[in-house]
Chains A and B, each alone.
Chain A
Amino acid sequence: MGGVSKYFCDAVDTEPHALSDFDKHVDAIRQILGGKRVMSVDELRRGIEAIPEAEYHRLSYYQRWIRSITFNLLEKGVITEAELRTALGEA
Chain B
Amino acid sequence: MSLLETPSGKLLDAISALLAAKGIAAPDEIAERIRITDQASPARGAQMVARAWTEPEFRAQMLANGTLAAESMGIPMRGLPPLGVLEDTAEVHHVVVCTLCSCYPRAVLGYPPFWFKSAAYRSRAVRDPRGLIAEWGTVLPDSVKLRVVDSTADYRWMVLPLRPEGTEGWSVEQLAALVDEGDMIGVTIPTRG
Determine direct contact between A and B, CB below 8 Å. Answer: yes
Question: Which residues of A are in contact with B by a Cβ distance under 8 Å?
Answer: 1-8, 10-17, 19, 22, 24-29, 31-33, 35-36, 38, 45, 48, 55, 59-63, 66-67, 69-71, 73-74, 78-79, 81, 83-85, 87-88
A55 CA to B18 CA, complexed, in Å: 25
A14 CA to B117 CA, complexed, in Å: 11
Contact in complex: A83, B18 (CB < 8 Å): yes
13 A–B pairs (Cβ distance < 8 Å), ordered by A:
A2-B123, A6-B119, A13-B120, A27-B34, A27-B111, A29-B16, A29-B19, A32-B25, A33-B25, A45-B100, A70-B3, A83-B18, A84-B15
Q: With A2-B126, A12-B121, A25-B12 given, is the CB distance from A78 to B24 under 8 Å? A: yes
Interface residues on B, range: 35 or more
Contact in complex: A13, B3 (CB < 8 Å): no
**Contact pick for B29, options A32, A48, A63, A74, CB 8 Å:** A32
Question: Which residues of B are in contact with A by a Cβ distance under 8 Å?
Answer: 1, 3-6, 8-19, 22, 24-25, 29-31, 33-34, 37-38, 79, 97, 99-102, 111, 113-115, 117-128, 132, 135-136, 150
